[in-house]
C-alpha cells in the first residue's frame, strides 16, 4: 500500500525514499494521484519539451522513413534502410516478419510487470536483485542526475536461457524471451544490408559476434505525470548499442534530433511497426557513416506509456574501432579503439548528456 500523500510529498528526501529506496517508482507517485510534480523532477528550461522547436507534421513517414519489408530481397529495401541509417539514424519497419501477436504479448507483459506492487518489484532492484543482469530502477542514473526523469524501468541483460529462466521476473519472462528470439532474423537482415554498403561482404561468425554478440532488453514505463511540461520521460541521449529495435505503444512521445541538428522530430506510433535506430557502437565501427542520433521522450499527462527496446550490442569484452573495410580506401579513423564494456560503463556512470558520450572514443 502507498503511504498517505502528505507523508511522501512534503519533503524531498521522503520522495526519494519512496520512489527509489522503497521501489515504488514514479508509478507509485502517479498512482497516489499526486497533484504537482515534486521538485526533483523539474528539468531546466532548456531540457523541457515544448512545441516551439518541434517540427509539425500530420503525415507519418514525411520525415523519418517508414520502410516496408515485405519484399526484403528487393535491393530497394536495402537501399532505403542504408539511406535512412546515414541520414536520420532512425527508421520504422512494417511487415518486418516479427509476428504482431509476439509484440502484443510483450506489451501486455510489460504492463503486467509494472502493475506489480512495490514489494514484488523491489526484488529486482540493484540492492536486492539475485542477478547483476536483472535490474529494476527509476530515472536513468538518480545519483548522478541534477533533475530526475519521469520513468521506471526493468533492464534484462541476456546471458543464457538458464540464467533468464532462473532470474527474470515470471510476470514477463516468457514474452520477453519470445520477443528477443523472434527479432533475431530481422536484426541479422538489417545488419547484413548495412554491412554491404560498408564493403563487408559477409556476416561471418566473427562479425556477427562483434555486431550482435550481446543483448539487453529494457522494459520502460512512463506513468501519467501531473506536470508533463516541466519534466521529461527520458533526457537527451544516444544509445550505446550497435542497433536498437524499439517497440513503442500507440501513445507517442519519442522525439529525435532533426537533420538540421536543432529541431526535434516526432516518431509517430505506426500500428505493427518496429522503430530501428543506429547506436554509438555502429557509428564508431562505420567511422561516422551511420548516425547514432540524439533522442528523448516527453512525459504524458493522461496516459501510462510503455516501450520495449532491444539493445543489440557487441560483447562487453569486444574492442570496438572503425572497421578495416571502411578504412581500406584511405579514410582517416575518426574514432580510436575502446573496450566496449568501458564505453558502456562510461555511459551509465553519468547523467544523460546528449551526444557527449561518443567523445570518449574520439581519436
Ligand X SMILES: O=C(O)CCC(=O)C(=O)O
User: Which active-site residues does the annotation give?
Assistant: 215, 237, 239, 295
Question: CB-wise, 15 or 98, nearer to ligand X?
Answer: 98
* In the block, residue with C-alpha cell 522503430: 275
Q: Is 349 in the site for ligand WCA (CB under 6 A)?
A: yes
CB of 69 to ligand WCA, least distance (A): 23
Cβ atoms within 10 Å, residue 302: 9
Euclidean distance between CA atoms 162 and 201, whole angstroms: 34
Sign of CA dihedral 113, 295, 361, 79: positive
Q: What does the chain come to in residues?
A: 363
For 290, residues 6+ apart whose C-beta sits below 8 A from its C-beta are: 85, 86, 89, 194, 278, 282, 283
Q: Between 140 and 290, name the residue whose CB sits nearer to ligand X.
A: 140
Question: Cβ(302)–Cβ(223) under 8 Å?
Answer: no
Please choose, from the candidates 110, 102, 105, the residue with its C-alpha nearest in 3D space to the C-alpha of residue 169. Answer: 110
Q: Which is nearer to Fe ion, 239 or 249 (CB)?
A: 239
Q: Do 117 and 22 form a contact (C-beta atoms < 8 A)? A: no
Choose the contact partner of 345 out of Fe ion, ligand X, ligand WCA, none; CB within 5 to 8 A by kind.
ligand WCA
Return the one option of Fe ion, ligand X, ligand WCA, none that residue 307 interacts with (CB less than 5 to 8 A, by type). Answer: ligand X
User: What residue 313 binds from ligand WCA, ligand X, Fe ion, none (CB within 5 to 8 A, per partner kind)?
Assistant: ligand WCA
Nearer of residues 76 and 315 to ligand WCA, judged by Cβ: 315
How many alpha carbons lie under 13 Å from residue 12 in its C-beta half-sphere? 6
Cβ 239 to ligand WCA, closest distance in Å?
Answer: 4
Is 348 a binding residue for ligand WCA by CB under 6 A? The answer is: yes
- Taking the complex as a whole, the smallest distance from the CB of residue 145 to ligand X amounts, in Å, to 15
Residues that bind ligand X (CB under 6 A): 218, 220, 234, 239, 246, 248, 254, 295, 297, 307, 309
Q: Which of ligand X, Fe ion, ligand WCA, none has residue 273 at its interface (CB below 5 to 8 Å by kind)?
A: none
Q: Which is nearer to ligand X, 67 or 254 (CB)?
A: 254
89, 256 Cβ separation under 8 angstroms: yes
Q: Which long-range contacts does 355-360 make (Cβ < 8 Å, 24+ apart)?
A: 355/238, 355/292, 355/294, 357/237, 357/238, 357/240, 357/280, 358/238, 358/280, 358/283, 358/284, 358/292
| Per-residue mark of binding to ligand WCA, 255-294 (x: CB under 6 A) | ------------------------x---------------
Using CB under 5 A as the binding rule, whether residue 239 contacts Fe ion is answered as yes
Is residue 311 a contact residue for ligand WCA (CB under 6 A)?
yes
Minimum distance from residue 105 beta carbon to ligand X (Å)? 19
Could you tell me which of 48, 143, 133, 127 has the C-alpha nearest to residue 350?
143
Using CB atoms within 10 Å of the CB of residue 92, give its burial: 0 to 12 exposed, 13 to 18 middle, 19+ buried. buried
**Best CA proximity match to 310, nearest among 98, 141, 137, 162:** 98
Binding segment for ligand WCA (CB under 6 A), chosen from 34-42, 98-106, 200-208, 310-318, is: 310-318
Residues 89-148 that bind ligand WCA (CB under 6 A): 132, 135, 140
User: Binding residue for ligand WCA (CB under 6 A) from 198, 256, 275, 344?
Assistant: 344
Cell 510487470 maps to which residue? 113
Binding stretches for Fe ion (CB under 5 A): 239
Q: Interface residues with ligand WCA (CB under 6 A)?
A: 132, 135, 140, 155, 157, 214, 216, 218, 234, 237, 239-241, 279, 311, 313, 316, 340-341, 344-345, 348-349
Amino acid at each position: 500500500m502507498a503511504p498517505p500523500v502528505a507523508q511522501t510529498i512534503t519533503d524531498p528526501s521522503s520522495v526519494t525514499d519512496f520512489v527509489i529506496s522503497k521501489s515504488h517508482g514514479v508509478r507509485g507517485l502517479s498512482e497516489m494521484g499526486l497533484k504537482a510534480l515534486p521538485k526533483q523532477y523539474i528539468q531546466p528550461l532548456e531540457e523541457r519539451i515544448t512545441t516551439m522547436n518541434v517540427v509539425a507534421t500530420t503525415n507519418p513517414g514525411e520525415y523519418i522513413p517508414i520502410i516496408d519489408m515485405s519484399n526484403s530481397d528487393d535491393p530497394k529495401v536495402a537501399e532505403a534502410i542504408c539511406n535512412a541509417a546515414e541520414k536520420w539514424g532512425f527508421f520504422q519497419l512494417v511487415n518486418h516478419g516479427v509476428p504482431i501477436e509476439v509484440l502484443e504479448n510483450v506489451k501486455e507483459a510489460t504492463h503486467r510487470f509494472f502493475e506489480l506492487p512495490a514489494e514484488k518489484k523491489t526484488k529486482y532492484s540493484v540492492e536486492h536483485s539475485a542477478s547483476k543482469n536483472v535490474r529494476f530502477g527509476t530515472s536513468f542514473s538518480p545519483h548522478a542526475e541534477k533533475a530526475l526523469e519521469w520513468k521506471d524501468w526493468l533492464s534484462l541483460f541476456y546471458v543464457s536461457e538458464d540464467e533468464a529462466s532462473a532470474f527474470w521476473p515470471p510476470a514477463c519472462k516468457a514474452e520477453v524471451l519470445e520477443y528477443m528470439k523472434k527479432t533475431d532474423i530481422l536484426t541479422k537482415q538489417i545488419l547484413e544490408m548495412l554491412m554491404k554498403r560498408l564493403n563487408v561482404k559477409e556476416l561471418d561468425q566473427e562479425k556477427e559476434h562483434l555486431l550482435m554478440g550481446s543483448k539487453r532488453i529494457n522494459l520502460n514505463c512512463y506513468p501519467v505525470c501531473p506536470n508533463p511540461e516541466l519534466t521529461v520521460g527520458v533526457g537527451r541521449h544516444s544509445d550505446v548499442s550497435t542497433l536498437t529495435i524499439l517497440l513503442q505503444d500507440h501513445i507517442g512521445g519519442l522525439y529525435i534530433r532533426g537533420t538540421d541538428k536543432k529541431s526535434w522530430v516526432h516518431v509517430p506510433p505506426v500500428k505493427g511497426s518496429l522503430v530501428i535506430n543506429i547506436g554509438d557502437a555502429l557509428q564508431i565501427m562505420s567511422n561516422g557513416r551511420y548516425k547514432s542520433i540524439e533522442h528523448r521522450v516527453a512525459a504524458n499527462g493522461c496516459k501510462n506509456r510503455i516501450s520495449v527496446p532491444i539493445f543489440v550490442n557487441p560483447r562487453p569484452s569486444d574492442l570496438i574501432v572503425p572497421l578495416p573495410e571502411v578504412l581500406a580506401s584511405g579514410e582517416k579513423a575518426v574514432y580510436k579503439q575502446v573496450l566496449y564494456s568501458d564505453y558502456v560503463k562510461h555511459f551509465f556512470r553519468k547523467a544523460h548528456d546528449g551526444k557527449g558520450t561518443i567523445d570518449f572514443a574520439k581519436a
